[in-house]
Amino acid sequence: MADDIFTYAPAPESRSVVRLRSSYGLFIDGAFADPAEGRSLKTVNPADEEVLAEVAVAGEADVDRAVAAARRAYETVWGPMPGAERAKYLFRIARILQERSRELAVLESLDNGKPIKETRDVDLPLVAAHFFYYAGWADKLGHAGLGADPRPLGVAAQVIPWNFPLLMLAWKIAPALATGNTVVLKPAETTPLSALVFAEICQEAELPPGVVNIVTGAGETGRALVAHGGVDKVAFTGSTEVGKEIARTVAGTRKRVTLELGGKGANIVYDDAALDQAVEGIVTGIFFNQGHVCCAGSRLLVQESVAEDVLERLKRRISTLRMGDPLDKNTDIGAINSAAQLDKIRELSGIGDDEGAQRWTAPCELPSRGYWFPPTVFTGVTQAHRIAREEIFGPVLSVLTFRTPAEAVEKANNTPFGLSAGVWTEKGSRMLWTANRLRAGVIWSNTFNKFDPTSPFGGYKESGYGREGGRHGLEGYIRG
Amino acid sequence: MAETPESSERSEQAGKTVARRPGGRAARTKRADEGAPPQVEPARPAEPPAVAAQGRLAVRKTYKLYVGGAFPRSESGRSYPVTDPQGGLLANAALASRKDARDAVVAARRAFGGWSGRTAYNRGQVLYRVAEMLEGRLGQFADEVAAADAVPRERAEALVAAAIDRWVWYAGWTDKIASVAGGANPVAGPYFNLSTPEPTGVVAVFAPPEAPLLGLVSVLAPVIATGNTAVVVASERAPLPAVTLAEVLATSDLPGGVVNLLTGRLAELAPPLAAHADVNALDLTGAGALAAELEEAAAGTLKRVLRPAEGRTDWTAEPGTERLTAFLETKTVWHPIGV
């Protein structure tokens, strides 16, 4: 390309704002403590495979202590506390999050691999906003339309994924605390660090001990937490497979459950759409956060008459995306979060080749160390292809075409998932017609991947149940 | 499914102990392979049939299933005797099979698009029409409830009246629940953002065994008011008012397949419905001891599950909106604002 005259100089964000400790304990009852069995895991920077810190692995005994601390705090402090007082703690936490947002953004980029542009401009502002939003609810629950005297459930067990570590923590902890519950939260094994800094923030805010407990570890720790007899509520964000396991575990108990699971979002582009805007939306839909987004628009459904045009513009646009150092402020696409996830993306895209879809990869250099996967587009995809049915959770777009609106809806809904969908058209009635028929919890029309604490988020069908965000987000934590 | 003449049905039952009673009605013993202990004594006829003063013999009703708007017998050809609490025979009801349950799911799925696509106002009109039809049959329902529960006629009438009023209450919810459960969200940006509730899909409802009409109405009406379609397993012990309710539904402009009613053994019908991939949600109110097992089966496709209430439910008390919202999904639509 001739536009090499404009070259990018690296603009790295400084790491010095982050003070990493070499090892982290579990945060139980207001203090950091060593795990009973003394096991630990290492968390690495996926951009260069450097070990960032050692983190404790909580066993059953630790989970038990954390749940007991949460129960004590619920019964003696947090449950009885007036909502207005709870609110002030949450406002305090929100303010500290804002004050320390650059530090947390850098830390998140280090631990997760996502570009600083996203952690700085999307994750952290939303994290603080979420705490602000739910802080305001704490003393207004009687007005939420969930009964005249809504009561908390008790102790909430919360298990979150690695794609938006601190944001998912905010989605879980803010509504739980606002409604008077106490929590035991398990961050993902590959991204535990921002949750541990959040624990420090709880100390800084002088949140009563036991109200928030953070137990780090892998699947085994999560299972112990979900199955613990002392929890009243389970909230999980992650894969549909694990979501089903959790639904089985809690069957027959009185535990309440909300599950926010996988997706295979359809992004429908009609022939009358503003194509350049649509192309931006397609790129945001699948390449935001390296495609590690449960609501990603991973299936592009484009009307046949404009398919060629859209694909050409799309490839041109993708070719301008900058992939590399997550801490570089120019970076659009960061690292894949883990070696395991990279393997999964490679495996599924390999299946795309085997099944006869045509792969196109953006021309970009991959760094020599770390986990990387270039932006990839598969064309000639049919509904039977596994890359059109299974969640890849990476920067891989499957392109299908349609002729009529009815066909678009039919194909969009032909999935066990139902989390998100996109509609691109300049005609309002067509947009609403389509949105009405899509079986998905969030419909972005002429936009994509927008989030807000006031806006409920969650899926239909096997994308899970319950909503997070907004007034609806209170429902999962309240007994009416 | 074709009607079979009574005579041929009887001949298919050859080899079973058959006790005839005046009017040609027969009570059979339960079959050993139905899982229940074989009944040694044939069920006694309850009340002597009301022979009209004119000496006219009453025409009795065959209690059948209600699937896809039609009244078939069980494809299995089976039936079971329904008795009053004293063991007196009331009638034979169809003993639905797993295949009947699957057929009912197909019918409910087929009806979902049309019913959920109706305007909320229209659904309210249809449901109100159901209440009108119920009112017209108040006497018949009171007889059936009185017989099923061995309660005085007056008490039975009160229960039926409560059931009709409950139906009217839910009929009025169809075009209000979206305003209560949904709304605009004030997002921090130039976006229109609206959350609206939508029906979950096909709901399998296990009706409470103890309240054959009021309990059934209380669990069924909220499911269909919001646009879901239903496969209902009626009270195993007292299914007759449910079948009569199906006759009301069939004559109330409710499209076929919106409600599908099965009578038979809960233990036989509930597991395949709980595991069925085309069922979106379960109402376990009447699931009893099976509830945990069914919830576990539901996890396979992440069905929404309404668990049975703790303790005894007072069906006469005014319900909240919980049964409406349990089978709703919230859809949130975003659109940019700009010129």
How many CB atoms sit inside 10 A of residue A385's CB?
Answer: 19
Measured between beta carbons, the chain A residues lying within 8 angstroms of B188 are 129, 452, 454
Name the average pLDDT for chain A: 97
Question: Phi and psi (nearest 5°) for A234?
Answer: -120, 125
Report the half-sphere exposure of A96 (CA within 13 A, side-chain side): 17
Beta bridge partners of A377: A360, A397
Residue B45: what pLDDT? 55
pLDDT of B16? 38
Q: What pLDDT score does A148 carry?
A: 85
Contacts of B195 in chain A (CB under 8 A): 455-456, 470, 472
Inform me whether the C-beta atom of residue A480 falls under 8 Å from chain B C-beta atoms: yes
Map residue B240 onto helix, strand or coil. helix
Contact flag B195-A455 (C-beta cutoff 8 Å): yes
State yes or no: pLDDT of B33 exceeds 60: no
pLDDT of residue B52 exceeding 60, the answer is: no
Query: How far is residue A229's CA from residue B24's CA, in Å, rounded to a whole number?
Result: 57
Percent of chain B with pLDDT over 70: 84
**Is the pLDDT at B18 greater than 60, yes or no?**
no
B296: domain CATH number is 3.40.605.10
Tell me the pLDDT band of A424, cut-offs 50, 70 and 90: very high
Check CB contact of A251 with chain B, cutoff 8 Å. yes
Residue B22: what pLDDT?
35
Which residues from B are below 8 Å from A when comparing CB atoms? 180-181, 183, 185-189, 191, 193, 195, 200, 280, 291-293, 295-296, 298-302, 304, 307, 310, 320, 322, 329-336
Please name the member of A145, A445, A462 whose beta carbon is closest to the beta carbon of B302.
A462
Are A125 and A170 contacting, i.e. CB atoms less than 8 angstroms apart?
no
**pLDDT confidence bin for A6, thresholds 50/70/90:** confident
Whether A350 has a pLDDT exceeding 50, the answer reads yes
- Report chain B's terminal Cα–Cα distance, integer Å: 59
Dihedral (CA of B155, B157, B158, B164) sign? positive
- Check whether B39 has a pLDDT greater than 60: no
Residue B23 binned pLDDT confidence (cut-offs 50, 70, 90):
very low
- Over 90: is that where the pLDDT of A292 sits? yes
SS3 assignment, position B282: strand
10 Å Cβ neighbour count for B3?
12
Mean pLDDT for A117-146 is: 97
Please give the Cα distance from A165 to A160 (Å, whole number).
7
**Which of A241, A454, A468 has the most B C-beta neighbours within 10 Å, making it the best mutation to test the interface with B?**
A454
Domain assignment of residue B52, yes or no: no
pLDDT attached to residue B11: 36
**Count of structural domains within chain B:** 1
Over the Cα atoms of chain A, what is R_g? 22
Residues 6 or more apart whose CB falls under 8 angstroms from that of A474 comprise A137, A141, A144, A146, A150, A175, A178, A179
Mean pLDDT value of segment A92-103: 98
CB-based contact (8 Å) between A416 and chain B?
yes
Q: What's the rounded Cα separation, in Å, for the pair A237 and A233?
A: 14
Mean pLDDT, residues A235-247:
98
In a domain, B55, yes or no: no
Q: Is residue B144 part of a domain?
A: yes
Q: Which residue of A has its CA nearest to B331?
A: A441
- B11 falls within a domain: no
Residue B200 lies in a domain: yes
> Does residue A412 belong to the interface with chain B, where contact is any CB pair within 8 Å?
no
Contacts of B307 in chain A (CB under 8 A): 254
Angstrom distances, CA of residue A33 to CA of A51, A160, A189, A214:
21, 21, 18, 11
Residue of A nearest to B295 (CA): A251
Preferred mutation among A133, A465, A479 to probe B, highest tally of B CBs within 10 A: A465
- B187–A454: do the CB atoms touch at under 8 Å? yes
Pairing of strands B281-283, B304-306: parallel
In this prediction, residues A70-88 reach a mean pLDDT of 98
CB within 8 Å: A252 and B298: no
Question: Which residue on chain B is closest to A258 by alpha carbon?
Answer: B304
- How far apart, in whole angstroms, are the C-alpha atoms of residue B83 and residue B44? 9
DSSP 8-state symbol, A105: H
Chosen from A226, A472, A474 to mutate, greatest number of chain B CBs within 10 A? A472
* CATH architecture group of domain A23-261+460-479: 3-Layer(aba) Sandwich (3.40)
Nearest to B332 among A248, A456, A464 (CB): A456
Give the tens place of pLDDT for each residue, B254-305.
Answer: 999 999 999 999 999 999 999 999 999 999 999 999 999 999 999 999 999 9
- Mean pLDDT of the A445-456 span: 98
Neighbouring-strand partners of residue B232: B205, B261
- H helices of A205-271, where? 219-227, 240-250
The tens digit of pLDDT for each residue in A356-414 reads 999 999 998 899 999 999 999 999 999 999 999 999 999 999 999 999 999 999 999 99
Q: Do B292 and A447 touch (CB under 8 A)?
A: no
* Arithmetic mean of pLDDT, A81-98: 98
Residue B199 has pLDDT above 50, yes or no: yes
Is the pLDDT at B226 greater than 70? The verdict is yes
**Which residue of B185, B293, B329 is in closest CB contact with A455?**
B185
> How confident is the model at residue A364, as a pLDDT?
86
pLDDT tens track for A245-256: 999 999 999 999
Please check whether residue A247 touches B, CB under 8 A.
yes
Q: How far is Cα B316 from Cα B214, in angstroms, rounded to an integer?
A: 8
In a domain, B271, yes or no: yes
Rounded (5°) CA angle B328-B329-B332: 135
Contact flag A456-B185 (C-beta cutoff 8 Å): yes
Asked whether this complex has an ipTM greater than 0.90, the answer is: yes
Residue B20 clears pLDDT 80, i.e. is over it: no
Q: Which residues contact A424 (CB under 8 A, 6 or more apart)?
A: A267, A268, A269, A270, A273, A274, A277, A278, A281, A445, A446
CA atoms of B17 and B37, how far apart (whole Å): 15
Angle formed at CA B205 by CA A250 and CA B65, multiple of 5 degrees: 145
| A262-281 per-position pLDDT tens digit | 999 999 999 999 999 999 99
**Span A302-326, pLDDT tens digits:** 999 999 999 999 999 999 999 999 9
Q: Where does the pLDDT of residue A456 fall: very low under 50, low under 70, confident under 90, or very high at 90 and above? A: very high
Residue in B with minimal Cα distance to A428: B335
Q: Is the pLDDT of residue B13 over 70?
A: no
Catalytic residues of A: 260, 294
Domain regions of chain A by residue span? 23-261+460-479, 266-445
Write out chain B residues lying below 8 Å of A450, CB-based: 187, 189, 191, 334
Answer yes or no: is pLDDT of A446 > 90: yes
Q: What is the pLDDT of residues B62-79, one digit of tens each?
A: 999 999 999 999 999 999
Distance CA B213, CA B218 (A): 8
Q: Give CA–CA dist A188/A165, Å, rounded.
A: 7
Greatest mean pLDDT among A359-368, B50-59, B175-184 lies in B175-184
Tell whether B291 is covered by a domain. yes
Range of the domain at B258: 98-310+321-336
| Nearest chain A CA: its distance from B322 CA (Å) | 9
Q: What is the pLDDT of residues B132-167, one digit of tens each?
A: 999 999 999 999 999 999 999 999 999 999 999 999
Burial of A118 (0-12, 13-18, 19+ CB in 10 A): buried
- Cβ separation A456–B310 shorter than 8 A: no
- Identify the CATH assignment for A266-445 out of 3.40.50.880, 3.40.309.10, 3.10.310.30, 3.40.50.300: 3.40.309.10
Supply the DSSP symbol for A20.
Answer: -
Residues of A in contact with B300 (CB under 8 A): 244
